[in-house]
Structure 1
Amino acid sequence: MKLTVLYRGPLSGCNFGCEYCPFGKWKQSEEELAKDREDLARFMAWVESRTDLRISVFFTPWGEALIWPWYQEALARLTQLEHVDRAAVQTNLSCTLDWVERCKVEKLGIWATYHPEWMKRRRFVAQCEKLSALGVRHSAGMVGFVRFAEEAEALRSELPADTYLWVNAVKDGQEEPYTPEDIARFTRVDPLFPVNNTRHPSLGRACRGGESVISVDGEGTARRCHFIDEPIGNIYAPDFDAALKPRPCSKAVCGCHIGYVHLEYLELDRVFGSGILERVPATPLWNARA
């Protein structure tokens, strides 16, 4: 049986302070960081013990994980496990990349977000270039505020030709709604922008969430996804596997990529293939010099 786990422990601090993000506004205490490290160690022990499963792990923290060595080590260990198919992480790519040398890079995936207020474009591009040189499959992306449109175009022109650049549509918090010209502009950067700019009908729809994809917190509580609070069980319970079963979505709409990508009717698994966690399309869809 194959199982994808979106792990989100208690880590919530970030070394950036983007004004639109609540998680860069504080630093965690030593006690809070120790708790995150302990929770991750327990989760890692569980993954290592589940040799009966084909597991993929995607770290989606409320904060920046890769500035902490325990997440770097976790990715290195996961990629070395025979029964782990994929180990991926969302990151601002501000970390050093020397830990990648300890990974089986063919199993590693990086979802990197560029924050122009906090990192120089040249530095971000250099990090992506290094990932390419190391053989790490990765995507790069930006938050689609209209004020960032010119920066998104500049980033697209400087990234390696084989690096997909996504743009996350701002569905709330934009000063003005997107105009048709704004949408066309971002779509030239990211051909899948219209897909992300949609709140997809999901109520009663078949979704892999809760069956072959789950969200897990630091206590081991499993939910079908990050966007439905109702627990379905705890991965550390001996009878947890019985909780994995088809469940139609209970939300009216789904507007976040890490959620709607698992809605079966959208067939986005065919678009992303084995790059679904790190958001890399199976076939290039973009104009690398847009």
Structure 2
Amino acid sequence: MNDLYVLYRGPLASCNYDCPYCPFAKRVDPPALLRADQADLLRFASWVTETADRRLSILFTPWGEGLTRSWYRETIVRLSHLPHVARVAIQTNLAARVDWLAAADPRVAALWATYHPGQVTASRFLDRCRRLDALGIRYSVGVVGLPAHYDAAVALRAALPPSVYLWINAAEGHLYTPDEEQLWTTLDPLFGDSVRPHPSLGLPCHAGETAISVLGDGTVRRCHFIPTPLGNLYDGSWQSALRPRPCTNTLCDCHIGYVHLKPLGLRDVYADGLLERIPAAFPVRPSLEPTSPS
């Protein structure tokens, strides 16, 4: 069966958090946009249900927080039970309760969770993680690698089970000293993949071949970062456009993009955990002293 990775992003852009490093912090979507987002998602879910000639792996990458909306929760449960869906995951701040995942297939549903210090207490966030553990749901946890977040990230690593991967995203616009990079790499051995943009112009990429990006209206692109459309999901025009091709961007600096660059070999690193950002193997929890980076 052909494998296809699908990154879906509808018009939803509202979020309940107020992170200073996010342009969508505390944004409120009007009711009409929420209705459109729900309709778009249900249409996409119907397409997934009917497209049984491929093995699909789906990652929802909303600009805002999706799990505070019932239609994302219901769609994840629904898609997790389809035999041709290998994975359905979503990026989330984990603010919403997670008990609804008891109705999902834990072999298929997964979460890419981000901890935002200052927006939620560590105890509340860890309570959500413990509930996911009890439900048997796969998840990764990450932190934006700002100096002010370091102590919180160390404490989070110490509190999480060793089996839970903690990733660190390089903060946009922050230049890391060698000492800072080493501190963050001790927490996340794969931090080096995030800390510097990857030269990508002319390099072969799975995007547009075995991975696509889908917008709410069905527009299909190679990835979120190359706007040229390949066609539309709902008229089938995208299928003939799938083929190996080189990247047309000079740099790729976002995980959901560079994870598909063929020379990096990151599909082998993450394997079945590619969409929820869980490496196939990673070191057990290191022993760290909470010494803040300078």
RMSD over aligned Cα, in angstroms? 1.1
The AA in structure 2 aligned to 1:113 is T
Structure 1 CA distance, aligned partners of 2:112 and 2:211? 18
Kept after mapping to 2: 8 A contact 1:79/1:103: yes
Deviation at 1:241, TM superposition (A): 1.2
Equivalent of 1:263 in 261, 264, 276: 261
Q: 1:84-233, aligned counterparts within 5 Å?
A: 84-172=85-173, 174=174, 177-233=175-231
Kept after mapping to 1: 8 A contact 2:230/2:237: no
SS in 1 for 2:204: coil
Structure 2 CA distance, aligned partners of 1:123 and 1:239? 46
TM-score (norm 1): 0.96
Kept after mapping to 1: 8 A contact 2:114/2:141: yes
Kept after mapping to 2: 8 A contact 1:191/1:286: no
Task: Give the number of aligned pairs.
Answer: 287
Question: Which string of whole-angstrom CA distances, capped at 9 and with x for unpartnered residues, describes residues 150-170 of structure 1?
Answer: 111111111111111111002
Deviation at 1:286, TM superposition (A): 4.6
Deviation at 1:201, TM superposition (A): 1.3
Q: Identify unmatched segments of 5+ residues in structure 1.
A: none
Structure 1 CA distance, aligned partners of 2:257 and 2:195? 13
SS in 1 for 2:12: coil
Structure 1 CA distance, aligned partners of 2:153 and 2:179? 15
Deviation at 1:69, TM superposition (A): 0.6
Deviation at 1:289, TM superposition (A): 4.0
Structure 2 CA distance, aligned partners of 1:53 and 1:289? 43
What is the aligned partner in structure 1 of residue 246 from structure 2?
A: 248
Question: Which string of whole-angstrom CA distances, capped at 9 and with x for unpartnered residues, describes residues 235-257 of structure 1?
Answer: 11133311111121001111111
Question: Which string of whole-angstrom CA distances, capped at 9 and with x for unpartnered residues, describes residues 236-281 of structure 1?
Answer: 1133311111121001111111111111111111111100100001
Kept after mapping to 1: 8 A contact 2:220/2:238: no
Q: Identify unmatched segments of 5+ residues in structure 2.
A: 289-294
Deviation at 1:136, TM superposition (A): 1.0
After alignment, is 145-154 or 279-288 more displaced? Answer: 279-288
Distance 1:28 1:135, change over 3 A: same
Distance 1:288 1:161, change over 3 A: farther
What is the aligned partner in structure 1 of residue 79 from structure 2?
A: 78
Q: Percent identity?
A: 47
Kept after mapping to 2: 8 A contact 1:13/1:63: yes
TM-score (norm 2): 0.95
Kept after mapping to 2: 8 A contact 1:171/1:197: no
The AA in structure 2 aligned to 1:199 is P
SS in 1 for 2:189: coil
The AA in structure 2 aligned to 1:277 is L
SS in 1 for 2:94: coil
The AA in structure 2 aligned to 1:194 is G
